[in-house]
Chains A and B, each alone.
Chain A
Amino acid sequence: MDFSLSKEHEMARQLFKDFAETEVKPLAQEIDQEHRFPRETVEKLAKYGFLGIPVPKELGGQGCDVLTYAMCVEELSKVCGTTGVIVSAHTSLCVDPIMTFGTDEQKQKYVVPLAKGEKLGAFGLTEPGAGTDAQGQQTKAVLDGDEWVLNGSKCFITNGKEADVYVIFAVTGKVEKRGKMMKEISAFIVEKGTPGFTFGTKENKMGICGSSTYELIFTDCRIPKDNLLGARGKGFNIAMHTLDGGRIGIAAQALGLAEGALETTIQYVKERKQFGRSIGQFQNTQFQLADLATKVECAKLLVYKAACKKDEYTKNPKISYSVEAAQAKLCAAEVAMEVTTKCVQLHGGYGYIKEYDVERMMRDAKITEIYEGTSEVQRMVISANLLK
């Protein structure tokens, strides 16, 4: 077992770090306070291929692995949680399912421009009555000639109004499973600008305030029959598979937030003086930092392990990375929340002031315990595997 990174991973990490420090960090506070989507950053992410990292070159991507993608989200999130989730939602939740389940035509039409960053992607599963319980879906799709007609709404959609391509889930009928009638769910690709597809409320969030989180509304929205993604009725499987990958992205975001808060705090405790010495000289501070750094390292190993497992899956689709992804997300999200909260405490009163990055990082960290499967859902996934 070798824990050292390869030459290409070391170089990629340095690239992401330089990019984050130079292009992303200067905007982090501003986009948070103004609740503004950083379009200018997205253009730069596209220019340097950061929106198609784990996508093969023949589909317009960079031809790198999942670990490189995870490190990208991690480094971006060290300085800005918003930018991290823009890349994660685009790559894991939109590009990945089309790449995995799409037809060759769909891959050429959608994955290529998405991977090149000419278009931005989003994913719509959640509804007001269907969060953790995906069976609660109300959005319907009815086949009418050569078109599917969508009616319903989706909420809390990341990259909401800024995306161009959306992977949307809807009920297409009923099927009998183990003697029970269940909703048949299918996945679709919907383009922005399709008549009948509009945006509702922009969510006013606690954290990741620069990300565009919207309600999507479908009113007799007609899309071509060919925009069905995967087989009819396979939507639930596609959603679960997609969220397994998405969890690695969010785990990397959580890891980045924890690392960013810790690095900032290490600097702060060296400079902040109380009772005639820096607060870093007090054993209470030292022990807390030691504990936090150890937890961050633990999260990092789980995130990288899950990313490597998904890479193995790419070569051998019989391998499952579901449990590893759930463990990485559960651990990294809870570590992010604990580390950022304690880093605010170590900053004292200044940690509660918006000019200090740890204040934003603590707010950003909370969502990582909630979206793409709450921590409770991750525990369900992990324990179901233990007790099967």
Chain B
Amino acid sequence: MKVVVCIKQVPDTKGGVKFNPDGTLDRGAMLAIMNPDDKAGLEAALRLKDEYGAEVTVITMGLPKAADVLREALAMGADKAVLVTDRVLGGADTWATSTTLAGALRNLDYDLIITGRQAIDGDTAQVGPQIAEHLGIPVISYAQEIKVNGDKVTVKRQYDDRYHMVEVKMPCLITALSELNDPRYMTPGGIFDACKADITTWGRADLKDVEDGNLGLNGSPTKIAKASDKVRKGAGEKVVPDSPEDAVNYIVGKLKEKHVI
């Protein structure tokens, strides 16, 4: 069984988001980590390796520095790593990214492709399903549990108020939630091996069946008008009513004022 996991290096947003004066993310000022949903996807793949002896390949698109997350994945137990990097691929939105990754994935053998649900730097949740569309394979998104049975996978798919049990024949693509599992740590020996390991590096020329018009900034239909961090709410208005009735009347009055009721 062959599993390919798509991972992304993202800025750690725990300590707040920092922007350049032009509104783009100041990635240099933030710690770079493996996207949490992708890490859960990698852990799911590594469990398939533990259980069924699956071969796990990780792939990422990004700057040469993105090799760091590939080495982390190797140190956790992945077998092979592919870095897709090229100047002409820079500035890609979800469409251009999924086109690029699909072009790279066409070079690989896979039974299962796992991606994270979404990346914490963009929160679009579009790349995984788009890759499946490009490759013409089924997609199951929001996986909170994955089981393999012969040539089929059964996935518990999260919904707001329920879950779906979906069975699909491989090859297919699954998008993973960070709630799927607790990813394992790297091992010290794994780190030493990962730092010596060869990482396959592909550029534009290595992508299969893709058109230049769908790549990089020029191939990205998305235009960002403005980006901002979460807006902090003000302190609000503090009211201390004399009785519970006064409190209820005050709240109801405010809700009517805002046309909520």
Chain B residues numbered 150-195 whose CB sits less than 8 Å from any CB in chain A: 184-192, 194-195
Specify which of A7, A18, A49 is in contact with B188 (CB 8 Å cutoff). Answer: A49
Specify which of A11, A57, A72 is in contact with B186 (CB 8 Å cutoff). Answer: A11
A19 x B185 contact (CB < 8 A): yes
A72 x B185 contact (CB < 8 A): no
A64 x B185 contact (CB < 8 A): no
A6 CA to B194 CA in the complex, in Å?
13
A266 CA to B195 CA in the complex, in Å?
34
Residues on B with beta carbons closer than 8 Å to the beta carbon of A64: 188-189, 191-192
A15 x B188 contact (CB < 8 A): yes
A212 CA to B72 CA in the complex, in Å?
35
Interface string of A46-75 (1 = CB under 8 A from B): 001110010001000111100010001000
B81 proximal to A (CB < 8 A): no
A15 x B189 contact (CB < 8 A): no
B114 proximal to A (CB < 8 A): no
Of chain A, the residue at the smallest CB distance from B31 is: A14
A26 CA to B192 CA in the complex, in Å?
28
A57 CA to B193 CA in the complex, in Å?
11
B191 x A8 contact (CB < 8 A): yes
Contacts across chains A and B counted by CB atoms under 8 Å:
50
B192 x A15 contact (CB < 8 A): no
B71 proximal to A (CB < 8 A): yes
A7 CA to B197 CA in the complex, in Å?
13
A15 CA to B184 CA in the complex, in Å?
11
Interface string of B190-210 (1 = CB under 8 A from A): 111011000000000000000
Specify which of A11, A18, A61, A68 is in contact with B75 (CB 8 Å cutoff). Answer: A11
Nearest CB on A from B71, distance (A): 7
Residues on B with beta carbons closer than 8 Å to the beta carbon of A8: 191-192, 194-195
A109 CA to B191 CA in the complex, in Å?
27
| Residue from the set B72, B184, B186, B191 with the largest chain A CB neighbour count within 10 Å | B191
Residues on A with beta carbons closer than 8 Å to the beta carbon of B75: 11, 15
Chain A residues numbered 135-193 whose CB sits less than 8 Å from any CB in chain B: none
B185 x A68 contact (CB < 8 A): no
B189 x A49 contact (CB < 8 A): yes
A12 proximal to B (CB < 8 A): yes
Nearest CB on B from A18, distance (A): 7
A359 CA to B184 CA in the complex, in Å?
32
B189 x A57 contact (CB < 8 A): yes
B185 x A12 contact (CB < 8 A): no
A50 CA to B188 CA in the complex, in Å?
7
| Residue from the set A11, A62, A64 with the largest chain B CB neighbour count within 10 Å | A11
Residues on B with beta carbons closer than 8 Å to the beta carbon of A48: 184-188
Of chain B, the residue at the smallest CB distance from A18 is: B185
B195 x A15 contact (CB < 8 A): no
A11 x B72 contact (CB < 8 A): yes
A7 CA to B71 CA in the complex, in Å?
10
A304 CA to B188 CA in the complex, in Å?
17
Interface string of A232-263 (1 = CB under 8 A from B): 00000000000000000000000000000000
| Residue from the set B72, B187, B192, B195 with the largest chain A CB neighbour count within 10 Å | B192
Nearest CB on A from B81, distance (A): 14
A11 x B185 contact (CB < 8 A): no
Residues on A with beta carbons closer than 8 Å to the beta carbon of B195: 6-8, 11
Nearest CB on A from B39, distance (A): 12
Residues on B with beta carbons closer than 8 Å to the beta carbon of A53: 188
B188 x A62 contact (CB < 8 A): yes
A62 CA to B188 CA in the complex, in Å?
6
Specify which of A18, A19, A62, A72 is in contact with B192 (CB 8 Å cutoff). Answer: A62
Nearest CB on A from B228, distance (A): 28
B187 x A62 contact (CB < 8 A): yes
Of chain B, the residue at the smallest CB distance from A62 is: B189
| Residue from the set A6, A8, A53, A68 with the largest chain B CB neighbour count within 10 Å | A8
Residues on A with beta carbons closer than 8 Å to the beta carbon of B71: 7, 11
Of chain A, the residue at the smallest CB distance from B187 is: A49
Nearest CB on A from B153, distance (A): 27
Of chain A, the residue at the smallest CB distance from B186 is: A15
Nearest CB on B from A42, distance (A): 15
Of chain B, the residue at the smallest CB distance from A65 is: B192
Residues on B with beta carbons closer than 8 Å to the beta carbon of A19: 185
Residues on A with beta carbons closer than 8 Å to the beta carbon of B190: 49
A12 CA to B190 CA in the complex, in Å?
10
Nearest CB on B from A5, distance (A): 12
A7 CA to B193 CA in the complex, in Å?
12
Nearest CB on A from B151, distance (A): 32
Residues on B with beta carbons closer than 8 Å to the beta carbon of A49: 187-190
Residues on A with beta carbons closer than 8 Å to the beta carbon of B189: 49, 57, 61-64
Of chain A, the residue at the smallest CB distance from B189 is: A62
| Residue from the set B72, B185, B186, B188 with the largest chain A CB neighbour count within 10 Å | B188
Residues on B with beta carbons closer than 8 Å to the beta carbon of A7: 71, 195
Nearest CB on B from A375, distance (A): 30
A72 CA to B185 CA in the complex, in Å?
14
Nearest CB on A from B186, distance (A): 5
Nearest CB on A from B11, distance (A): 16
Further contacts, 9 of them, CB under 8 A, given A49-B189, A63-B189: A8-B191, A12-B188, A15-B75, A15-B186, A48-B185, A49-B188, A62-B189, A62-B192, A72-B188
Q: Could you list some 14 contacts between A and B, CB below 8 A?
A: A7-B195, A8-B191, A11-B75, A15-B75, A15-B191, A48-B184, A49-B187, A49-B188, A53-B188, A62-B192, A64-B188, A64-B189, A64-B191, A68-B188
Which residues of B line the A interface, CB within 8 A? 71-72, 75, 184-192, 194-195
Which residues of A line the B interface, CB within 8 A? 6-8, 11-12, 15, 18-19, 48-50, 53, 57, 61-64, 68, 72
Which 4 residue pairs are nearest across A and B when measured between Cβ atoms?
A62-B189, A8-B195, A49-B187, A62-B188
